[in-house]
Amino acid sequence: MAKRSPPESDFEDAESFSDQSEKKPSSSRRLKKGGAKVDVKPNKPRTVKKPKFDESSDEDETEKHHSVAVHSTPEGEKYIDLGKKKRATVRKFKGAVFVDVREFFGNPGEEKPGKKGISLGLEQWEALKSGASTIDSLFTELKS
């Protein structure tokens, strides 16, 4: 193995060292005033997830009713996307029809229903619909 000649200056040594190491590690280090090394992550652009509105990833079909997108699951249940992984689904359970407003979790295409949610029977759904204008006015009242 050949010996290196001693550097003439500190600058020359730093220059030859940087030439030898072409590969840069995924995270770089820099020195603080006290001589301690601090990991500095490379600047990466932040990614912003775009909300899905009319997209259907695993849904078989999408229908439009009164400017609201009605999606369908692979099992054939129809639902309306409420945003933030929440859905309103009309489903049949033990012979009764319910409106199920529920939060979902998991990756897109593999979403599973969570515990947070409520199932409304026909009478409860009718009561909620008839009180919708009152609920709207209460929202407006509390906003201001």
What is the full per-residue pLDDT of the chain (144 aa) written as tens digits? 666 666 565 555 544 444 554 455 555 556 556 666 655 555 666 666 655 544 444 444 445 556 788 888 777 888 898 888 898 988 888 989 899 999 988 887 778 888 889 999 999 999 999 999 999 999 898 887
Closest among 18, 90, 81 to 51, alpha carbons compared = 81
Q: Which fold has domain 62-143?
A: Transcriptional Co-activator pc4; Chain A (2.30.31)
- The backbone region for 25, taken as left when phi is positive above 0, alpha when psi lies in -120 to 50, beta otherwise, is beta
pTM beyond 0.75: the answer is no
Helix and strand element counts for the chain (H, E): 3, 8
